[in-house]
Structure 1
Amino acid sequence: MKKELWRQLIHASGVFIVVLSYFLPPQLLIILCVTILAFVVIVFRLDHQHHIPFFSTILRVAKRDEDERGFVYFFIGIIITLYIFQFNMAIANAAILILLFGDSASTLIGRRFGRIKLPFQSHKTLEGSLTFLGVGFLVSLTQLPLIPAFIGALAGTLTEAYSPIDDNVPIPLISALAITVVIYFLI
C-alpha cells in the first residue's frame, strides 16, 4: 500500500498544470506537457539500463509492476483535454482535477477499504467509486458551479469504473464533455 500511496501522490502532483493555467496560455501548457511526457519516456527507457540519480529511485518507489505506460496515458489525457477544451479553461481545469484527485483517492480508498464490488466490474469497488465522486465533486467546485461540477464528477466516476481502456485518457475527456453539455446546452 505504501508504494501505491507514493504513486498516487505523484499522480496528484499534476495539479501544477492547473496552477500554471492561471499564468500561461493553453498552447504553452500543452507544449509543457508534451515536453514533460517526452522527458519521462526518455528517463523511463534509460532507467531500464542505467541508474539515474533521483529519477530511478522515484520510478522504483512508484511504478506498478504490471503498468509501465500509465504515465503516458495520464499525459495524453491531459494534453487532449487542454487542446479540445481550451476555449473554457474552467472546464478543462475541472476535468483535470477530477482525474488527478478523484482517480487517486478512489484507488487508495478502494484498495484499502473496498469490499462491495461494482456490477459487471470485478476489480472496482463501490467504496472507491463513491470516493471518486465525492473528491471529484469537491475539487471541481473550485472551478465550476454546483450542477456542472457534480455532473462532471459523476461522468468521471462512471468512466473510471467502466472504461475498457486505461482510464487516464477518457476520464478528463468525458468529464469535460459532460460539463460542457451542462453549461452550454442545459443551463
Structure 2
Amino acid sequence: MLARNTVVSDLFAAVGSYGLQLAILSLWTIIGQLGIDLRLIRKLVHISLGLVFMLCWPLFSSGNQGAITAATISSFNIIILLLRVGRMSKDEQGMSKVADPRTSPIGVAAICNLCAGDGVAGIVGKKFGRQKLPYNKNKSIVGTVTMAISGFITSIGLMTTSQFH
C-alpha cells in the first residue's frame, strides 16, 4: 500500500530519516560528554549526518515530490538550529565553530545555501536542463546556475531578515 501512495511513503521516509538522524546526533552528544575533543565530534556529526541523509535518499519516491519531501528534513534542521543558536550555553558553544554563533552566521548561511541551492537546482535542472555540463553529463547548466542563484538569494535573505545582520 505504501508503494502505491507516494505521499504516505515519502512521509514515512522523512520521519524515519529524521528519526535516524536524531538518534545519531544523540549518540554523538553522549560521546562528546566523555571528554573527547568537541571539534572532532563536530566534524564527525557533519560527516555522519550527511551520509545518513544520503543513505536514506532511496527511501523517497522519485521525482519532485520525493526531492521536496527529503529537502524538508534539512529545512527543519535549519529552523531548529536557528532557534537553538541564540540559547546556547557556554558549554554548548564548544560544539560550534565559533565562540559566539550569533555574530558569525557563515555556517548557517552555508547550510541554507546548500539546501536551497541543491534542492531548487535538482527541480529546475530536471525540468529545464537540456544542455549538460561538459564534465558531468548528469548535471545541467541551468541547474548549476539555479543552484548558485537560489543559494545566494537564500543566504542574503537569511542575513537581511534575521538576527545575524
Superposition TM-score, scaled by structure 2 size = 0.46
Larger Rg: 2
Q: Which has the higher contact order (CA 8 A, sep 6+)?
A: 1
Taking structure 1 as the reference length, what is the TM-score of the superposition? Answer: 0.41
